[in-house]
Structure 1
């Protein structure tokens, strides 16, 4: 589940990077993306951007957290120091916390001797989405942040979702509609809420299906599996590698579907997992992933899986 949150937020940030830069530092200007992995070190950022602030080029390190991490302060410090050396510029470190957690590591990180003398003080930025009023995000005018509204303070309300959809549609930022749909589906866990979301987004079904966000989610499992298989194929033979790639692609699709079901229809998770093990066709799994994503309720999701399983059985007989 953590991976679903992280992947979705990375897509959102890279879709509208300036809006996220402005969220962290209003005066900063986005210049471009940067490699998240440092060349000579085993450290990487979730998202790294080149920015300009007061006429000076800097690096913005954005980390995405859906769970609490006791080592976050030290992780940020390590990346900050190493990135400063590699890029020879200032590095600003920021963590975006998506879900409310206790004991979050606060800024600054302080190291001191037993006698109290400080030897290090490192400041970073914490953004706790549940503490940011939904009205503040709406009033910011930063459309790229609107899909975050379900995570904001008082954001888990149907009327907030209505406002999110209306503003995104007015801005014609259709890719944000897809991301808002995904995030809302992760936040709202009750069956009645799922039914509301499906009704609210139903009118945009064709747009959602064509969105690069949904297409990216669908293709991710296939591309990952084939890539891994081809890499192994260089050592073990192309034919065997392709077969392994196919198997890994199947498993990636199964995991993607299971994650969607766990987020939207948690009571079905175990049953769906068992049914998916019987499906061995990539095209079928791809179709199921789309249908489950767009299902209006658990019955539609269950029917999509059952139809796929029954279709496979009829072909075998």
Structure 2
């Protein structure tokens, strides 16, 4: 989950820093974000000033989304630099999302060439897959709820439904980015196709609320781009293979041309399926009919735009039916 997921988790902290401080450090009260004041800090890290009783401390948080063998050394570097700049102790906490990303233990110890210890750095490690799901909900901290699917018993529909229900309580507008991240994280956790269809349908009911969420827009765009890319790659590969086989009889160039054309059509069809699955999953059987008959490239391109811009399921259905009649 590297890349833009770092940005998503950083934004989650920006909206819910106090929730995470309450969870991780007893009695901590967040006072301000310090990340912009420390030039070395990466996009994946967040640094906050917090007060515990009458003393000020720093809280350095990082969500670990991928393997990083230099992480312990980097944590030490940030801790020392932040402590030197702000003149108070820094708590460093790493939240691991998956077992396959963990690469370190605490404390981090450095030895000299004779094996003598010269430095010992302590930091906290949170392994989400070891945290009981019920325990996370018992905290009653909404900022933690997008993480629920990653907890010990979290990869279940009822857990996601409970998280949605809690985030919709009060003022849902305040939690729409958290809802969007809950959707994105759950989509990575659910393996079964039936669970994925349920997830898309459930969040499709919240689309009007989530459309204004930057996180939802970016997640949807990434999903569409991934679907397009996957469709293009698969289509090009299948088309190229078919083209090569036909090239034994008709010539290599003719086969390659046909393969590329079919690849483009497969890519656009995959993109159409992605749009419909995300926005109007009940219409997927209609899209399946397009896979059983040759469709003009221009028509597929038009349908992708029409379904993407459709405001209602009825409008999208009308476009899909009209396309079938034209094909």
Q: Which has the higher contact order (CA 8 A, sep 6+)?
A: 1
Q: CA deviation at 1:139?
A: 0.5
For the pair shown, the structure with the greater C-alpha radius of gyration is: 2
- Output the CA distance in 1 between the equivalents of 2:273 and 2:135: 38
- Output the CA distance in 2 between the equivalents of 1:7 and 1:298: 33
Residue in 2 aligned with 1:296?
281
Normalising by the residue count of structure 1, what TM-score does the alignment of the two structures yield?
A: 0.70
Report the aligned-residue RMSD.
Answer: 3.9
1:310 matched to 2:302: yes
- Output the CA distance in 2 between the equivalents of 1:308 and 1:17: 45
- Output the CA distance in 2 between the equivalents of 1:148 and 1:77: 26
1:33-67: CA deviation from partner (whole Å, max 9, x where unpaired): 2234624xx45462111111232222211112112
Alpha carbons of structure 1 residues 73 and 111: separation in structure 2 relative to 1, 3 Å: same
1:62-101: CA deviation from partner (whole Å, max 9, x where unpaired): 1121122111110000111111111222111111111122
Alpha carbons of structure 1 residues 203 and 23: separation in structure 2 relative to 1, 3 Å: same
Structure 1: 5+ residue runs without aligned partners?
219-252, 280-284
Task: State the secondary structure of the residue aligned to 1:16.
Answer: helix
Residue in 2 aligned with 1:199?
201
Indicate conservation of the 8 Å contact 1:58/1:90, yes or no.
yes
Indicate conservation of the 8 Å contact 1:258/1:269, yes or no.
no
Indicate conservation of the 8 Å contact 1:194/1:297, yes or no.
no
Task: State the secondary structure of the residue aligned to 1:153.
Answer: coil
Indicate conservation of the 8 Å contact 1:149/1:160, yes or no.
yes
Residue in 1 aligned with 2:30?
30
- Output the CA distance in 2 between the equivalents of 1:187 and 1:105: 23
Indicate conservation of the 8 Å contact 2:47/2:60, yes or no.
yes
Structure 2: 5+ residue runs without aligned partners?
237-262, 289-296, 306-327
Matches within 5 A, 1:128-147: 128-147=127-146
Aligned residues, how many? 267
Normalising by the residue count of structure 2, what TM-score does the alignment of the two structures yield?
A: 0.68
Indicate conservation of the 8 Å contact 2:204/2:278, yes or no.
no
- Output the CA distance in 2 between the equivalents of 1:49 and 1:290: 39
Alpha carbons of structure 1 residues 123 and 2: separation in structure 2 relative to 1, 3 Å: same
Alpha carbons of structure 1 residues 121 and 181: separation in structure 2 relative to 1, 3 Å: same
- Output the CA distance in 2 between the equivalents of 1:145 and 1:43: 23
Task: State the secondary structure of the residue aligned to 2:169.
Answer: helix
- Output the CA distance in 2 between the equivalents of 1:112 and 1:74: 13
- Output the CA distance in 2 between the equivalents of 1:210 and 1:83: 35
1:119-138: CA deviation from partner (whole Å, max 9, x where unpaired): 10000111111111111100
1:1-52: CA deviation from partner (whole Å, max 9, x where unpaired): 412432222222112111111122131111122234624xx45462111111
Alpha carbons of structure 1 residues 56 and 258: separation in structure 2 relative to 1, 3 Å: same
- Output the CA distance in 2 between the equivalents of 1:189 and 1:75: 34
1:258 matched to 2:221: no
Residue in 1 aligned with 2:3?
3
